[in-house]
Amino acid sequence: MANASGQTPQSASQSDSSSARSGKGRHGSDRTLGFVCLALGIWYVLETRNFNLTTFGTGPVGPKTLPTLVGILFSLLALVLIIKPGESPSWGSLSAWSQLGAVVATSFLFGQLLEPLGFVVASTLLAIVIGLFFKGPIRKLAPMAFVFSVVVAFVFNNWLELRLPAGWWGGF
Amino acid sequence: MDLSPILASDFNLWDGFAAALTLENLLLAVIGCLLGTLIGVLPGIGPITGVAILFPITLGLGLGDASTLILLASVYYGTQYGGSTTSILLNVPGEASSVVTTLDGYQMAKQGRAGQALAISAIGSFIAGIGAVIGLMLFGPPLAEITIQFQSPEKFMVVILAFATVSSLAGKSLIKGLLAVVFGVMLATVGTDLQTGVVRYTFGELKLQEGLDFVIIAIGLFAVSEVLTLLEDRVMGEETAFVKAERIWVSFKEFMFSLGAIIRGSFVGFFIGLLPGTGASVAGFMSYGLERRLSDRDETFGKGDIRGVAAPESANNAAAGGSLVPLFTLGIPGSGTTAVLLGILISMGVRPGSGNVFEDSPELIWTLIASMFIGNAILLLLNFPLVNVFVQILKIPTWFLMPVILVISYIGVYSVNNSSLDITIMTVFGIIGYFARKMDVPLAPILLGLILGDDLEQNFRRALVADDGNYLTFFDGPLNIGLAVAVVVVLFLPQILDRVRGGKIKEEFADSGAEV
C-alpha cells in the first residue's frame, strides 16, 4: 500500500550510495533479522515449559503442542534467512534515527499521560510534538492542535458512545 | 444457472436491498464512500489503515453488525476511487492498486484531458464493480457449499492455504512472507488457551490474558509505522501542484472506444481477484499489459490513451469484488484490507470457511452485497461533481495531517478496551511494522496469522484428538490432498515461474505494489 507512493527512483539511488558508505556488508540486515527471529523462536519454544498445565493439559495434544511446532518452524525459517540473506536496505542517518526515537518516545509518553492529563491536553501536546517533527510552524500548529483536540473530544463524547478520559482539565 | 440460492432462500438479495436502503444505512454508505474517497486521495494512508482506524470508532456508534459492515465496506470501495483520482491529477497513486493508472492517466491530465480520464475511471469502476458483485452472487453460494464437507482437518488445511497464498504473493521474498505469517500465529497464542484455560506468553500481565486484539495490532503495524516511514522519507510535505479538472465528462464516442477495455478489464480483474493473495494491484497491472498487447496498434499507450486508464481502473475494482469470493466462501483474504474485513466478520461471530455464511448469516451477507451495488452508484454520483473538492484535502500540510492520523489511531485503540496498555502495544507494533517495511517483510501475513491463528490451533487439536494424535489425518481424503497440493502449488509456482521467466513475475508483482 505505502511503498507505491514512497519509492521514487531518486530515493532508490540514494539508498545504494548510503549502504555502500556504511560498509556493514550487503547482507547484514537480513542476517541480523534472522538472528533476532532465531532467538525469538527458541525462547518461544522454551517458554512452553513454564505453562501451568492443569490436568486438562495432558494427552497427545495440549496447549504446548502447536506453540512448540510453530516455534521450531519459525526458528528454521530464521536459519534459512541467516544462510541465504537478501540485500540490505539503507538505514537512515543518526539524526533521522533520533527523530524516530523521539516520536516513539512521545507515543509511549502519550499512553502514560492520557489518563492523568485528560484527552484534550494530552492530544494537544502529542499533536504539537509530532507536528514539530514534520517541520510545522509552531504558531499555526499549536492553535490547530488545540482546536482539533477539542473537536475530537466533543464528537467522541457526545456523538459517539466513547468516553475519552477527561483528566484534570474537565472536558465535556 | 441455478439462481435459487440468491432469490429463494429465507433471506435473499431483495431483502438485502430492503435492509440496505433504509435511511440510516444509506446515510452510512454515503459517509463511508466520502471518507473512503478522502482516505484514498491521501497518499500514505491506505485502505487497511482507514478501515482499521475506523472500526473501533464505528463500534462507538452502537450500530448493528450489518450497518457497521456497510460503513466499512463503503470506505473500502471509496479508497479505490480516491486512489485513482490522485494518480490522474498528481501522478501520485493514492493506493497501490492505481499505480498503473498514472501511466496514461497523468499523461491525459497534462494534455488537458483530466476530465475525460476521471470520468472514464469512474464509469469503468462502476461497470466493473457491478459486474464483480454479480459474479460474487453467482460464484459465492455454490462455492460456499463445499465448506459443508469440511471437518477439522480440512478446516486446518484451508487456513494453511490462506497462509501460503498470502505469504507467497504478498512480498518479494517467500522466506520473509512465511516468517511473517508464522510470527502472526505466535502472536495469536498469547493469552488464555480456550480449551484448557492455560495462560500462555503473557509475561504475568493480566490484561494480556484476553489475547492481542487484531485491531490494535493492525493500527500499529499499518498506521503508526506509516507515520514513522513518512517521517524518514518526507516524500510528502512539499506543496503539491496538481492539475485541475475543469469538467468531468466523457463523450459517447470515447466511452464506446473504451468499452472493450472496460469489459476485458472487468473480467481479468474479477478472475485475478478470485485467486487468493493476488489482489487489486496485480489485476490493474495485468489488465493494462493485456490491453496494451491487444489494442495498442498505434503505440499510444503510455502517451495518454484513454483505454490505458479504463482497463486498469475497471480491473482493480473488479478484483476488489472478486477477492470477496474466497473471503466469503473459504475465509481466505486476498489482501491486507480483506484480512481486516475477515477479522471484523470473525469478531461479529461470522466465520467464513468454517461454515456456509450464505446460509448461516444470510442477513449480514446479502445486506452487505446489496450495499455494494448501492455503494458503487453512490461513488459514481459523488465523483462527478466532487472530484475537485476531494483533491483539496491534499492542501492539508503533512505537519498537521500526521498528528491527526496518530491522534485518531490512538483514540481508536484506546476506545477498544479503555486501556493505556493498548497504546503501548500499538506503539511497539508500530516499531515492528517500521522495521518490517524497511526490510521487505510483508505486513499482511502477520495480521492474517494473528486473525486465523486461533482457528488454526483449535482445528489442529480437534483433528489430532479425534484421530489419536495421528498427523496423517491432515492428508486423509481427497479434499485434504487437494488442499495440500494447492498449498504446494501456491508456495512454489511463483518461484518456479521466476526461474523459467528470469525473475520477471515476482518483479511484476512487487513492482505493481502488491499489498504490503
Contact B47 A1 (CB under 8 A): yes
Q: Residues B374, B21: contact at Cβ < 8 Å?
A: yes
**Could you read off the pLDDT of B276-326 as tens digits, one per residue?**
666 667 788 888 888 888 887 777 887 888 888 899 889 888 888 888 888
Task: Report the percent of chain B where pLDDT is more than 70.
Answer: 88
What residues in A contact B28, CB-CB < 8 Å? none
Is A7 among the domain residues?
no
What residues in B contact A74, CB-CB < 8 Å? 179, 182-183, 186
**Could you read off the pLDDT of B452-470 as tens digits, one per residue?**
898 899 889 888 888 888 8
Helix, strand, or coil here: B83? helix
Chain B segment 232-251 residues within 8 A of A by beta carbon are 232-235, 237
Pairs across A and B, CB distance < 8 A: 227
**Domain C-terminal end among A36, A65, A90:** A90
**Domain C-terminal end among A41, A57, A90:** A90
Q: To which H or E segment does residue A113 belong?
A: helix A94-117
User: How far is it, in rounded angstroms, from Cα B297 to Cα B89?
Assistant: 26
**Domain C-terminal end among A59, A90, A121:** A90
The CB density around residue B476, as the number of other CB atoms within 10 Å, is: 15
User: How far is it, in rounded angstroms, from Cα B414 to Cα B178?
Assistant: 31
Q: Is the same domain home to A75 and A116?
A: no
**pLDDT tops 80 at residue B395:** no
User: How far is it, in rounded angstroms, from Cα A78 to Cα A37?
Assistant: 6
Return the pLDDT at A70: 95
What residues in A contact B397, CB-CB < 8 Å? 136
Return the pLDDT at B170: 67
Q: What are phi and psi of B244, to 5 degrees?
A: -95, 135
Q: Is the same domain home to A162 and A105?
A: yes
Residue B375 distance to chain A (closest CA, Å): 22
**Could you read off the pLDDT of B120-141 as tens digits, one per residue?**
888 998 999 899 989 988 888 8
Contact B196 A56 (CB under 8 A): yes
Q: Is the same domain home to A99 and A82?
A: no
Is B416 among the domain residues?
yes
Return the pLDDT at B7: 55
Q: Measured at the alpha carbon of residue B346, what is the angle toward residues B341 and B350, in degrees to the nearest 5? A: 105
**pLDDT tops 60 at residue B63:** yes
**pLDDT tops 60 at residue B35:** yes
Instruction: Find the range with the poorest average confidence among A22-31, B445-454, B500-509.
Output: B500-509
**pLDDT tops 70 at residue B511:** no
Residue B96 distance to chain A (closest CA, Å): 5
Residue A23 distance to chain B (closest CA, Å): 17
Nearest beta carbon to residue B193 from set A63, A108, A110 = A63
- Helix H, strand E, coil C: the string for B133-166 is HHHHHHHHHHHHHHHHHCCHHHHHHHHHHHHHHH
Establish if A78 touches chain B: CB-CB under 8 angstroms. Answer: yes
Return the pLDDT at B280: 67
Structural domain containing residue B354: 4-511
Q: Is the same domain home to A75 and A98?
A: no
Q: Which residue of A has its CA nearest to B42?
A: A5
Is B345 among the domain residues?
yes
Return the pLDDT at B80: 78
Q: Residues B7, B13: contact at Cβ < 8 Å?
A: yes
Q: Between B46 and B67, where is the model more confident?
A: B67
What residues in B contact A1, CB-CB < 8 Å? 46-49, 95-96, 222, 336, 513, 515-516
What residues in B contact A60, CB-CB < 8 Å? 464-465, 468-469
Is A16 among the domain residues?
no
Task: Report the percent of chain A where pLDDT is more than 90.
Answer: 21
> Residue B186: which pLDDT band, with cuts at 50, 70 and 90?
very high
Encoded amino acid at A155, one letter: V
Chain A segment 97-156 residues within 8 A of B by beta carbon are 99-100, 103-104, 107-108, 110-112, 114-115, 119, 123, 126-128, 130-137, 141, 144-145, 148-149, 152, 156
Is B516 among the domain residues?
no
Return the pLDDT at B386: 78
What residues in B contact A126, CB-CB < 8 Å? 403, 406-407, 410
Is A145 among the domain residues?
yes
Establish if A38 touches chain B: CB-CB under 8 angstroms. Answer: no
Structural domain containing residue A85: 23-90
Low-confidence ranges of chain A (pLDDT < 50): 1-24, 170
Q: Which residue of B has its CA nearest to A38?
A: B179
Nearest beta carbon to residue A1 from set B46, B197, B234 = B46
Nearest beta carbon to residue A126 from set B173, B199, B403 = B403
Residue B180 has what DSSP assignment? H
Return the pLDDT at B185: 95
Return the pLDDT at A22: 41
Return the pLDDT at B242: 59
Is A112 among the domain residues?
yes
Q: Between B306 and B183, where is the model more confident?
A: B183
Is A45 among the domain residues?
yes
Query: How many domains would you assign to chain A?
Result: 2
Residue from B86, B87, B196 whose CB has the most chain A CBs within 10 Å, to mutate:
B196
pTM: 0.81
Q: Measured at the alpha carbon of residue B167, what is the angle toward residues B165 and B172, in degrees to the nearest 5? A: 120
Is A100 among the domain residues?
yes
Return the pLDDT at A20: 39
> Residue B145: which pLDDT band, with cuts at 50, 70 and 90?
confident
Is A12 among the domain residues?
no
Return the pLDDT at A7: 36
The DSSP string of A50-69 is: GS---GGG-SSS-TTHHHHH
Query: How many domains would you assign to chain B?
Result: 1
* Average pLDDT over every residue of B487-513: 62
**pLDDT tops 50 at residue B71:** yes
Is B175 among the domain residues?
yes
Return the pLDDT at B384: 77
Is A3 among the domain residues?
no
Q: Residues B185, A90: contact at Cβ < 8 Å?
A: no
